[in-house]
Amino acid sequence: MEQVAELLKKIVPEVVKEVENRYTILQNIYFNQPIGRRALAEIISWSERPLRNEIKKLEEQGLIEIEQKGMKVSGEGEDVISRLENFIFYLKGLNPVAQSVMEKFHCQHVIIVPGDSDQDEAIKKQLGKEAARNLISFLKNRDIVAVTGGTTMAQIPRSMTPASGFEDVIVVPGRGGLGERVELQSNTIAAELAEKLGAQYRLLYVPDNLGADAMESVVNEPGIKEVIATIRQASILLHGIGGAEEMARRRGLSEEEVGEILKKGAVAEAFGFYFNKEGMIVHTTTSVGLSIKDLKNIRTVIAIAGGASKAPAIQAFLRYHHPTVLITDEGAARRLLEIEGGIESE
């Protein structure tokens, strides 16, 4: 498939661009259906006139259906999207990019989704879909699955079709809550993921930014203590990687505290730990659940983060820890290699 993609790029580059455009349109309709043409134009930053022409062609080919509520992808269209995913990966020359990231950061597997989630929200949904697919491939009965919170992580259960055979699996939040929107919290994501897997779940009703004294008191409560013990037995972890400033603000830290963390050179955050660009821990916050030190005891660690703006944070974290699987997008991967001194972005 890689050779076919390279040949097409040389012989008919204009066709390649057309394939990429139609794939983007189909993908965005699929993830936002039913959706109107004007809303779609805003999402993918197209003017309505050329988009109207492409939509007409896709409808004539039977790949989309237009109803009163808006457009949706047909069954045949879903099949085309699925078949195109791997082809677009090679068409965009992402195989050598994935290999370079894998070699430079010693990850066992690197999966790159075409596109940049900074520019296209549908890419976050595709990242969630890939994370769900990988979870199923690694999952064994009796596993304990821990999951953290965030916008990309929330897409994991939403992208899954209901599974069976995992009745003895337990899904848990990897961390306490950050006090953000309930649908983005690890408790919510854990419960939704368990429902899709037909698995059990345990929830952790502890904020992640309590003072040290309050935290010590809470974690010694019998019910909380039992859940934390279960979390620390996790065999699979799905987690995001955050930018230091973004995560400090999400944790509700004061402007003074945010400034102090950034002065220390922090660019990335995970599990309440802040890392500088060399991958050294420069700041730690009080938190409950999994610690960065627990990663070495977890069989399968799946890290998910995308967007070119996240590249410095991804780089910093990967210098500290090498996950089993890194799932990222084209924007982040190409930028990551640029700042690491690797291959140039096309």
Contact 203, 191 (CB under 8 A): yes
Residue 297 to residue 295: CA distance in whole angstroms: 5
> What are the distances in angstroms from CA 117 to CA 70, 113, 244, 292?
24, 9, 18, 26
pLDDT digits (tens, 9 = 90+) for 227-270: 989 999 999 999 999 999 998 888 778 899 999 999 999 999 98
Exposure on the CB side of residue 81, measured as CA atoms within 13 A: 21
pLDDT digits (tens, 9 = 90+) for 274-296: 999 999 999 987 677 888 889 99
Per cent of the chain over pLDDT 70 is 91
Report long-range pairs for 136-139 (Cβ below 8 Å, ≥24 apart): 136/163, 138/236, 138/300, 138/302, 138/324, 139/166, 139/169, 139/197, 139/236
> What are the distances in angstroms from CA 122 to CA 33, 77, 115, 205, 283?
12, 16, 9, 31, 33
pLDDT of 345 > 50? The answer is no
pLDDT band for 17, please (50, 70, 90 cuts). confident
Exposure on the CB side of residue 14, measured as CA atoms within 13 A: 0
pLDDT band for 342, please (50, 70, 90 cuts). very low
